[in-house]
Amino acid sequence: MARVEAIEYGDRKVYPVSAFNRGVASWLERLPSVWVEGEVTELRRQERWQSVFFTLKDSADGSCLAAFMARGQFDALQLELRDGERVHVYGRAELWPSRGELRLRALAIERLGLGQHLAALERLRQKLAQEGLFAPERKRPLPRFPRRIGLVTGNDAAAKRDVITAITTRFPPARLLVAETYVQGPRAAAAIVETLRAVVAQPQVDVVILARGGGSFEDLLPFSDERVVRAVASSPVPVVSAVGHEQDTPLCDLAADARASTPTAAARLVVPDLDELVQSLERLRSGLERGARRTLELKRERVQRTGERLRAAARLRVERHRAGLEVLAAKLRALSPRATLERGYAIVRRQGQLLRSTASLALGERVEVELAEGGFAATVEEVRP
Amino acid sequence: MSTEPSFEAAEKELRQIVERLEGGAVPLEEAIALWERGEALYRLCRERLEQAEGKVEELARRVEPENPSA
């Protein structure tokens, strides 16, 4: 380790800047070499420079780290790195003595391989899932009749045309607002986020389709970028993710309110079928007429039934009275002396008074006898007690 | 109804009216009023569909992020 000489001012030790830097630099040299992951930005390479310079950026929070690599070594790697690419850099911290700046001396650079991309993706998926970004209760229903449909798509003519055709075929009156963006490569993620924001900021845009045709795993990576996923989740209007094919599941699919694996499926989600809609309207109209008629019919039937019940009730009442009367008449008949007379009994009266005993009867007295049929007068000839 | 309902709202209301009428439990006068309202909604929906013109616009500004980190 280089010895750092201090200047003495009385009992104060003072280090010149160069000595301080050298001191820190030699201390830093003791740190081990490690792998650092980040996005490459601001790559600067010039023939007359001995080193290639770049910045490594943390895509999650934007933290930056200056890095460099010997130009010969960098060229030998033949990485053809572009801005925004994710890499693993093996290196160690160094202090650039002339500027007092910390830099990462890169000893090796590796572009992220498929396995590493997958692992990173899985970590991000778990992190965002834990935040609840993919929760089913976050999903919003799509409008049945969007006033305007935003379409964020690449400039790949076929993919764009397929979505537009699918929508306008199904629903000719659809109004679309199409915005092209980069959908591939290191700049895509930021561009997609910007474009999405610009589209939803337009008036009357009620739903947005994020569309991209099929592509390789790497091609679709921007749609799993944390910034894109968050932008989709926080969009003020529902987002339909129509990225890649059925087997692809970029993370934006999970954050979107709905997912479509084909342009036709996307169209089915965002617009009604015009023919079906017209038919359904016609059905509703006949339902309206049928319903009104039915209501009328029901009312009429009810009035009729009520009338019938009224009449029946009246009839029943009369009938009941008549039956009661018959019973009374029968009772009356049973109780009248007439019935007794008909069984052979006779009523005997003296001067209009009913005779119940012979006690007061005298010989020769005149009595009136009444039978069931007719009557006669008689004179008493004999009295028995 | 001072403001005209959206197509979506009109179609929904029409559907509800039909359901109520088909239930048959609505008082007569109300049923007639509902019918008239339903017819008006139906006409409104049809007019909306016939008047609507499909349109595909391009967002004029091609978004070029100045700073990819923004």
User: Could you read off the pLDDT of A267-285 as tens digits, one per residue?
Assistant: 999 999 999 989 999 999 9
Paired sense of beta strands A353-354 and A347-350, if any: antiparallel
Q: Do B28 and A190 touch (CB under 8 A)?
A: no
pTM, 2 dp: 0.63
Interface test with A, best of B14, B47, B63, B67 (most A CBs within 10 A): B63
pLDDT of residue B3: 67
Q: How far is A147 from chain B (nearest CA, A)?
A: 10
pLDDT of residue B61: 58
pLDDT of residue B67: 45
Q: Which residue of A has its CA nearest to B21?
A: A291
Torsion, Cα of A72, A76, A82, A86 (10° steps): -110
State pLDDT tens for residues A83-99: 888 899 999 999 988 88
State pLDDT tens for residues A280-303: 999 999 988 888 888 888 888 888
Q: Do B63 and A179 touch (CB under 8 A)?
A: yes
CA distance A52 to A49: 7
- The answer, for B3 touching chain A at a CB cutoff of 8 Å, is no
In chain A, positions 66-95, which contact chain B (CB-CB < 8 Å)? Answer: 83-84
- Burial (Cβ within 10 Å: 0-12, 13-18, ≥19) of residue A259: buried
Nearest to A223 by CA among A264, A265, A195: A195
Q: Do A41 and B15 touch (CB under 8 A)?
A: no
pLDDT of residue B1: 44
- The answer, for B28 touching chain A at a CB cutoff of 8 Å, is yes
Residues of chain B predicted below pLDDT 70: 1-3, 61-70
Q: Which residue of A has its CA nearest to B11?
A: A281
The secondary structure of residue A96, as a DSSP letter, is E
User: Residue A143, SS3?
Assistant: coil
Query: What is the residue-wise DSSP string for A37-82?
Result: EEEEEEEE--TT-SEEEEEEE-TTT--EEEEEEEHHHHHHHT----
A-B C-beta contacts closer than 8 Å: 124
Q: Could you tell me the two tokens for A200? A: 């939803």
Q: How far is B19 from chain A (nearest CA, A)?
A: 8
Q: At which residue do the structure tokens 């679309």 appear?
A: A176
- The answer, for A41 touching chain B at a CB cutoff of 8 Å, is yes
Q: Do B52 and A187 touch (CB under 8 A)?
A: no
Backbone angles phi, psi at A364, to 5 degrees: 80, -5
Q: How far is CA A219 from the centre of its chain?
A: 31
Is A339 within 8 Å of A330 (Cβ atoms)?
no
CA distance A223 to A188: 9
Task: Give percent of chain A above pLDDT 70.
Answer: 99
CA distance A253 to A239: 9
pLDDT of residue B70: 36
Which residues on neighbouring strands pair with residue A348, listed in sequence order?
A369
Q: Could you tell me the two tokens for A263? A: 């342009």
For chain B, helix (H) and strand (E) counts, in that order, are 2, 1
Is A179 within 8 Å of A154 (Cβ atoms)?
no
Kindly give the confidence (pLDDT) of every residue in chain A, 385 residues in length, as a single tens digit, with 9 standing for 90 and above: 456 778 888 889 999 998 899 889 989 999 999 999 999 989 999 999 999 999 999 877 889 999 999 999 999 988 888 888 889 999 999 998 888 999 999 999 998 877 788 888 899 999 999 999 999 999 999 998 898 999 999 877 788 889 999 999 999 989 999 999 988 877 889 999 999 999 999 999 999 999 998 888 888 889 999 999 999 999 999 999 999 887 778 999 999 999 998 888 999 999 999 999 899 999 999 988 888 888 888 888 888 898 888 888 888 888 888 888 888 878 777 777 777 778 788 888 888 888 888 888 888 889 999 888 889 999 998 888 8
Q: How far is CA A59 from the centre of its chain?
A: 32
